[in-house]
Structure 1
């Protein structure tokens, strides 16, 4: 690399750093996590109120997408692997065509969905590994050190390698009500207002609030 190229690269890096600094300074506090994440991984998305910096491995191509919803908590050491499948039923698991550009890729190579979708209010604990393609449902919890290889239902707690359902956070009827409430889609000022309820065990209070909210909205619409 020439001196001019190195200088240009440094100048671009300084400019990008300044743009990021200004964006963080003018953003909502609950938006900072997504801004930092998308600065590192511009091809992927993190929703409002989420935070954490998982290590994202894109082993396939830019067509693999990671989508993280709102108000997700992602701990240190989490790894998310997009693509990178090997085929156990072939004579070799080695992707020889990748090692030599002169070798044609096999025509029989299956097409896979290699996306990972993490819905809203998901907690992924330390050192968990997420393998594509999976969907982590709203409100689920992935225990520390777990390896997720298949979809996780809403409000399930999974643990182990491979991760299995240990239990659900709430009863089926409460889960149904929470999914209907979808508080993460409320306006941010309203979320701040009801945060004492959200950050408590008083699920009934949240359900009552939601019912009153629906009644008020129906009255205004009539």
Structure 2
């Protein structure tokens, strides 16, 4: 059992300490590492990279600009592996006409209302306790439910149901981790919203498979 006094605070940049006492610079709590007006990340969500980038926001979401109309929202306790990228809506071109060429971005003329630019796109939303595997690509407007596991190298778009496992290009459901009824119960229990002291002392049941046991230790 982990002592809750040793669990890092969510505003710690580098929460992993190596055996020699130094920090692992390639793993960060994203809420501490990213300050971006269009990106919101919940507490204790971390990302890892074999070579730590200077700018985690640009590394993960290179098309989410300060002036982008859409948002990237990632929940709490998510786990984001090396090479994951979020391709948000500002990366889009028009593709409903003859050409997808973005004429408006070249030259000095006003870009407002130009016919070669698409309309603002949807937000990209990732739920709580989502594991996104190595090199996965999350497409504009994807909505990934709570407890989802995304296989390495997957290309994910659309809406992914809570507690699904998806993989492939395009990503397809591989299996459900729990039945829809149990998944709904887990979402209701929402362990990610418990006080961190309670989360840490409940590690065994949170990481186990007994939903009744989780319900028994839930804060009242």
State the TM-score bracket (shorter-chain normalisation).
0.7 to 0.9
Structure 2: gaps (5+ residues)? 1-6, 13-28, 48-55
Tell me, in whole angstroms, the C-alpha distance in 2 between the residues paired with 1:100 and 1:108: 13
Aligned to 1:183: 191
> Is the CA contact (8 Å cut-off) linking 2:69 and 2:120 kept in structure 1?
no
Tell me, in whole angstroms, the C-alpha distance in 2 between the residues paired with 1:175 and 1:67: 21
Aligned to 2:68: 62
Using the TM superposition, give the Cα deviation of residue 161 of structure 1 relative to its aligned residue in structure 2, in angstroms: 0.8
Structure 1: gaps (5+ residues)? 1-26, 218-222
Task: Report 1:111-122 matches (<5 A).
Answer: 111-122=119-130
**2:22 corresponds to 1:37:** no
> Is the CA contact (8 Å cut-off) linking 2:63 and 2:88 kept in structure 1?
yes
Using the TM superposition, give the Cα deviation of residue 167 of structure 1 relative to its aligned residue in structure 2, in angstroms: 1.1
> Is the CA contact (8 Å cut-off) linking 1:31 and 1:50 kept in structure 2?
no
**2:117 corresponds to 1:137:** no
For residues 44 and 103 of structure 1, do their structure 2 counterparts lie closer, same or farther at Cα, with a shift above 3 Å needed?
closer
| Count of residue pairs the alignment pairs up | 185
Using the TM superposition, give the Cα deviation of residue 173 of structure 1 relative to its aligned residue in structure 2, in angstroms: 2.0
Tell me, in whole angstroms, the C-alpha distance in 2 between the residues paired with 1:186 and 1:59: 30
For residues 108 and 42 of structure 1, do their structure 2 counterparts lie closer, same or farther at Cα, with a shift above 3 Å needed?
closer
Task: Report 1:64-79 matches (<5 A).
Answer: 64-79=70-85
Tell me, in whole angstroms, the C-alpha distance in 1 between the residues paired with 2:103 and 2:161: 37
**2:53 corresponds to 1:48:** no
The one of 87, 110, 116 equivalent to 2:94 is: 87
Higher Cα Rg, which structure: 1
Task: Report 1:160-199 matches (<5 A).
Answer: 160-199=168-207
Tell me, in whole angstroms, the C-alpha distance in 1 between the residues paired with 2:30 and 2:64: 23
Using the TM superposition, give the Cα deviation of residue 108 of structure 1 relative to its aligned residue in structure 2, in angstroms: 8.1
Aligned to 1:96: 103
Using the TM superposition, give the Cα deviation of residue 42 of structure 1 relative to its aligned residue in structure 2, in angstroms: 5.3
More helix by share: 1
> Is the CA contact (8 Å cut-off) linking 1:46 and 1:68 kept in structure 2?
yes
Tell me, in whole angstroms, the C-alpha distance in 2 between the residues paired with 1:163 and 1:205: 32
Which segment drifts farther, 123-132 or 49-58? Answer: 49-58
TM-score (norm 1): 0.74
> Is the CA contact (8 Å cut-off) linking 2:46 and 2:78 kept in structure 1?
yes
SS in structure 2 of the partner of residue 204 of structure 1: helix
* Aligned-CA RMSD value: 2.3
